[in-house]
Structure 1
Amino acid sequence: MPWSNQSGGNGGGPWGQGPRGPWGQGPQGPNNGPTPPNLDDVIRRAQAQLKKFLPVGDNGGRGLIALIIAGLGVIWLFNSAFTVQPDEVGIVTRFGAYQAPPRQSGLNFILWPVEQVQTVRVTRVNQEEIGFRSRGNGRQELPDEALMLTKDENIVSVGFTVSWSVRPDRPQDFVFRIVAPQDAVRAVAESAMREVVGRNNAEDIITKGQAILQGEVTRILQETLDSYSAGIQINAVSVSRPEVPPQVREAFNDVQQAAQDAQTFQNQSRRDANQLLANARADVVQQFQEADSYAKRIAAEAEGEASRFLAVYDQYKNAKDVTRQRIYLETIERVLSGASKTIIDGGAGGNNVQPYLPLPEARRPASPQPTQGSRP
């Protein structure tokens, strides 16, 4: 080498006096630490080891090529073969495009590297807790998720769990259509629960909330995820018992008690109104019946009077004088029967009667004497 010439650079090479390296340090001897291996020696040893595996002679180059091809084949086969577990399906893409159908369980092959595979567990059931988080034997409430507003503007705390899995018939949607499936399920489930709670009163949510919420939330949640083509199947929505938050429980109980009292008064008023209405209807029916009976009685009496008149008229035609005299006497009897009268014999005693004696006044009953304390 040029710097090995002792006549130039004072025998120190291009870095100055003495055997120094490019960083100003000389070779490390036994007293200065371990000496680094020589690069030429390393290359020669590697070539010697490689020659042991290659055939000697003119065919050595061909053997090297064959070895390289064999190694590449092993690498290709290793990357092309894959196993799908019984609870999985394989999603194969060729240059990024999905290749149907999904690969089922067992040994499968792809054309690596132009094809890639991603396995998805379709039978695994995932659980998402909303409104709370399980912590060992207890649970931690999350008011930001659990507190919801009802139709009658009350606040209730609702915690629930969503069980979901990948749809076996659409695993490609789960892989390509959605980025964060857990976050999507949680967001849509909370939105659906708030929608259903907002359509019902607090009393209905607390007393029969599980029956109201579970089915409706499951339906809305599944329909929304299907509209996103998320490839997610909702298995169940389990709602824990809704309750009123402790901060407003006393006020809520007062409102509910007032509502119950108002309902009691309304029911009592309805019962009284129904009773009065029933009595009025009964009175109307009775009056109609009495009027009908009265009309029938008057009609019967009129018919009787007409029949009697006709009978008298027939007798009158047969004996007019006698009948006229009898009618006259009956009429006088009927008229004078209620009159006050005095009969004076026209004999000898009758001449002594004073003509101005107020006989009618004498027959009047005496007026009752006023009792003590009454007005005269």
Structure 2
Amino acid sequence: MVSLKRIYTIVGLVLLIIILSIVAFTTWYTVDESEQAVILTFGKAEETINEPGLHFKLPWPIQGVEKLSKETFSLQFGFEEKDGELKEFHADTKMITGDENIVLADLVVQWKITEPAKYLYNADNPKEILYSTTSASLRSIIGSTKIDDALTSGKAEIEAEVRDLLSSLIDKYDIGISILAVKLQDVELPNKEVRKAFTDVTDARETMNTKINEANKYRNKRTNEAEGEKKALISKAQGDKAARIEIARGDVAVFNKLYNEYKNNPDITRQRLVLETLERVLPGSEIYIMNDDGNTMKYFPIRPLEKEKPKTQGEGSDNNE
């Protein structure tokens, strides 16, 4: 019969082996580069470990470890894509715009866990909170947006406003999540007939904008041409002005010179001016200088003398012979 002492010894050894095994296997842990860990001391979150590698802690049940991913997650709101199949949830995406039109809007939210302890213990289901908050944020922004902006050029502004509102709400809930980006996937009308009517309106608006752009282009072209012509005329006028000023200055200089001559010899200068004026007014006419003494009019022929050619020296030698 086995003694009680031997039984106690065996049980003690077994317990010691179990304790040593627990200590050996629960005092160390590894953190991958894509992971982050939370150290729990008697169930209370104490420290967050972000550095990858081998780490040590107190054995279980004193301390435990919870590991979470550091990757960026995608929340698909209003649809689910799995194994190449797309499943839509129109009940979530149907909403009313600010001008009381119905649209279907779905989006993707990029988020990551930035505070693991809060993510683990501040909420029972952070992903569900994120989904509901995304729905509330999108409906709030769409509800204050006109349908034209939601379907055309206002998508970027809607994304920015949804991201800001969603981030502020998530910060208030304090669930350890950070919003990285919000991307609208589709904003469309609920049925084909409405979509076709809106497409026709959009095409007409684009045609109108094209015509307006062409008109503005033509106006700018004509305006530039008119500006060029105006500058050319101004430049020409300034050139004519400068030329006329120079001519006037030359005329003033000539007049001053004549005036000085006139002061020295008024009779001669007056007669010269008369003759020069006659030659200018009556070009090619015969001019005679006449002297009338009351009895006989005598004149001095100028043109015949100008036309008469002087005899050369050779011609005079012949005559002498």
Specify the TM-score bucket, using the shorter chain as the normaliser.
Answer: 0.5 to 0.7
Task: Give the SS at the match of 1:182.
Answer: helix
Separation (CA, whole Å) in 2 of partners of 1:281 and 1:124: 63
CA shift for structure 1 position 102: 6.3
Tell me the equivalent position of 1:355.
none
Are residues 1:176 and 2:121 paired? yes
Tell me the equivalent position of 1:138.
85
Q: Which amino acid aligns with 1:289?
A: S
When residues 119 and 249 of structure 1 are mapped into structure 2, their CA distance, relative to the original with a 3 A threshold, is farther
CA shift for structure 1 position 287: 2.6
Tell me the equivalent position of 1:268.
214
Count of residue correspondences: 259
User: 1:231-279: CA deviations, max 9, x gaps?
Assistant: 2355776654555544432122122212212212221232232223223
Correspondences of 1:165-204 after superposition (within 5 Å):
166-167=113-114, 170-193=115-138, 198=145, 201-204=150-153
Separation (CA, whole Å) in 1 of partners of 2:150 and 2:126: 32
When residues 133 and 306 of structure 1 are mapped into structure 2, their CA distance, relative to the original with a 3 A threshold, is closer
Are residues 1:311 and 2:257 paired? yes
User: 1:202-256: CA deviations, max 9, x gaps?
Assistant: 32367xx6xx887886676455434432123557766545555444321221222
Q: Name the TM-score, length of structure 2 as normaliser.
A: 0.57
When residues 205 and 141 of structure 1 are mapped into structure 2, their CA distance, relative to the original with a 3 A threshold, is farther
Task: Give the SS at the match of 2:86.
Answer: strand
Separation (CA, whole Å) in 1 of partners of 2:248 and 2:183: 83
RMSD across aligned positions (CA): 5.0
Separation (CA, whole Å) in 2 of partners of 1:303 and 1:236: 77
Tell me the equivalent position of 1:108.
59
**Aligned partners of 1:163 and 1:234 also within 8 Å:** yes
When residues 222 and 121 of structure 1 are mapped into structure 2, their CA distance, relative to the original with a 3 A threshold, is farther
CA shift for structure 1 position 334: 7.7
Q: Which amino acid aligns with 1:140?
A: K
Task: Give the SS at the match of 2:152.
Answer: helix
Separation (CA, whole Å) in 1 of partners of 2:263 and 2:109: 109
When residues 172 and 317 of structure 1 are mapped into structure 2, their CA distance, relative to the original with a 3 A threshold, is closer
Are residues 1:321 and 2:267 paired? yes
Separation (CA, whole Å) in 2 of partners of 1:153 and 1:288: 59
Report the identity percentage: 24
Higher strand share: 2
Q: Which amino acid aligns with 2:59?
A: N
Separation (CA, whole Å) in 2 of partners of 1:303 and 1:232: 87
**Aligned partners of 1:131 and 1:159 also within 8 Å:** yes
**Aligned partners of 1:152 and 1:202 also within 8 Å:** no
Task: Give the SS at the match of 1:188.
Answer: helix
Task: Give the SS at the match of 2:69.
Answer: coil
Task: Give the SS at the match of 1:204.
Answer: coil
**Aligned partners of 2:38 and 2:117 also within 8 Å:** no
When residues 241 and 175 of structure 1 are mapped into structure 2, their CA distance, relative to the original with a 3 A threshold, is same
Q: Which amino acid aligns with 2:240?
A: Y
Task: Give the SS at the match of 1:109.
Answer: coil
Are residues 1:91 and 2:37 paired? no
When residues 202 and 175 of structure 1 are mapped into structure 2, their CA distance, relative to the original with a 3 A threshold, is same
User: 1:92-114: CA deviations, max 9, x gaps?
Assistant: 446xxx35236978883236xxx
When residues 151 and 256 of structure 1 are mapped into structure 2, their CA distance, relative to the original with a 3 A threshold, is farther
When residues 164 and 121 of structure 1 are mapped into structure 2, their CA distance, relative to the original with a 3 A threshold, is farther
Tell me the equivalent position of 2:314.
none
**Aligned partners of 1:158 and 1:240 also within 8 Å:** yes
User: 1:35-59: CA deviations, max 9, x gaps?
Assistant: xxxxxxxxxxxxxxxxx9997xxxx
Correspondences of 1:10-89 after superposition (within 5 Å):
89=38
Separation (CA, whole Å) in 2 of partners of 1:333 and 1:309: 19
**Aligned partners of 1:162 and 1:234 also within 8 Å:** yes
Separation (CA, whole Å) in 1 of partners of 2:137 and 2:197: 27
Tell me the equivalent position of 1:353.
none
Tell me the equivalent position of 1:296.
242
When residues 227 and 54 of structure 1 are mapped into structure 2, their CA distance, relative to the original with a 3 A threshold, is farther
Q: Judge which range, 131-140 or 237-246, deviates more.
A: 237-246
